[in-house]
Amino acid sequence: MELLKDNYLRGFGSGDTWHVEIDPPKRKVGTYFQETLLTAEYINATRTGEIQVLYSGGLDSEYVARILLHLGIKFTPVIIQLKNVKDNTIYNDHDTVHAFKFCEDHNLKPLIYDLDFDRFVSSGQWRDIAESIECCAVAIPATMYVASQLDGFTILGNDPPYIKYQDGKWYLQELQYIHSILRYYKKYKVNGCPFFLSYNPEMMLSFLLEPKIQELGKNQILGKKGSNSTKSYVFNNGSGFNMPIYDFETKTRVKYTGYEKIYQSNILRDPNMRDWPEYRQKWNGEYLEPYSEVVARLSQFQ
């Protein structure tokens, strides 16, 4: 199965030369919810193996789970516990608590994958994976490793399209290190869908055309710097999911990476992490395209 439909989103270069090409949809798009349903049905019909959703506890993976439940598609949530075995602690328990609660509320039995993160780093596995896919993000290699160890069809919610406010304008942002996920799935022939929430050009454009995202792109919502705290409005539009909204002032369902405790731990001083600053210099490319321009370009068939 294609990692991205018709390879519509392609990344090139590295660092300062990083850029992407995005093909437009070939038909009129619906709402993001409608397009997500169509994508889920297509993936379910063309996949090989049982669906396993890597469920971090964030709203992206929750949206994927809700979509599959809505369609009656069977799947197993996979919850990765990043452990510090020596101290008998779990680094990401503040994030996975939401995943366990969702599974309990919806009578889902998750597959729990325990990963000794300190050993993963000290053994050189983190470094080897990061270098093999040109990845400068601490959080990605472990997730990729677990995805390759599963025996089903792995789905990553991953982030939907993201727009960013910079220098008085809104831009569509594509990051080089996020695309390292695609590179891993391709290089190691992982069975699954790593970019479920932006799998095809219809999902890309429909997200950008959502009313709340248009308000952001037209500077009609003041004080925002990006679309992360707005995407729940997109997830809830037409779905009736009533997913929580990120509120950074009241700390309601704060967006976590799951790596907050790792960033404060001694494991980042391990010799196998010594080249991380160099990775960030080489592989931290950012592509920005003005929101109004990318919407106009992708809407040519609307």
Best CA proximity match to 185, nearest among 159, 156, 162 = 156
Strand partners, 82: 115
* Mean pLDDT of the chain, nearest integer: 94
pLDDT tens string 24-72: 999 999 999 999 999 999 999 999 999 999 999 899 999 999 999 999 9
Q: What percent of the chain has pLDDT over 90?
A: 89
* Nearest in space to 68 (alpha carbons), one of 87, 86, 54: 54
Rounded alpha-carbon distances, angstroms, from residue 87 to 91, 102, 116, 120: 10, 27, 11, 15
**Rounded Cα distance, 188 and 101, in Å:** 32
**DSSP alpha helix (H) spans, 106-246:** 117-122, 125-132, 140-149, 176-187, 201-208, 211-217, 231-236
Give CATH for domain 5-295.
3.40.50.620
Strands 9-12, 19-22: pairing kind: antiparallel
Nearest Cα residue to 299 out of 214, 191, 182: 214
Which structure tokens are listed for 98?
A: 């939401």
Number of neighbours of residue 275 by Cβ within 10 angstroms: 14
Domain ranges across the chain: 5-295
Report pLDDT digits (tens) over 112-126. Answer: 999 999 999 999 999
Q: DSSP labels for 225-275?
A: -BSTTTHHHHHHTTT---PPPPBTTTTBT----S-HHHHTSGGGGSGGGTT
Would you tell me how many other CB atoms lie within 10 Å of the CB of residue 71?
Answer: 12
According to the model, what pLDDT value does residue 78 have?
98
Q: Which of 58, 63, 73 is nearest to 236 (CA)?
A: 63
Inform me whether the pLDDT recorded for 243 exceeds 60.
Answer: yes
pTM of the model: 0.95
CA 57 to chain centroid = 12
Residue for token digits 């454009």?
Answer: 205
| Percentage above 70 pLDDT, the chain | 97
293 Cβ partners below 8 Å, 6+ apart?
Answer: none
Convert 73-125 into a string of H (helix), E (strand) and C (coil). Answer: CCCEEEEEEEEEHHHCEECCHHHHHHHHHHHHHCCCCCEEEEEEHHHHHHCCH
For 163-177, what is each residue's pLDDT tens digit? 999 999 999 999 999
pLDDT of 246: 66
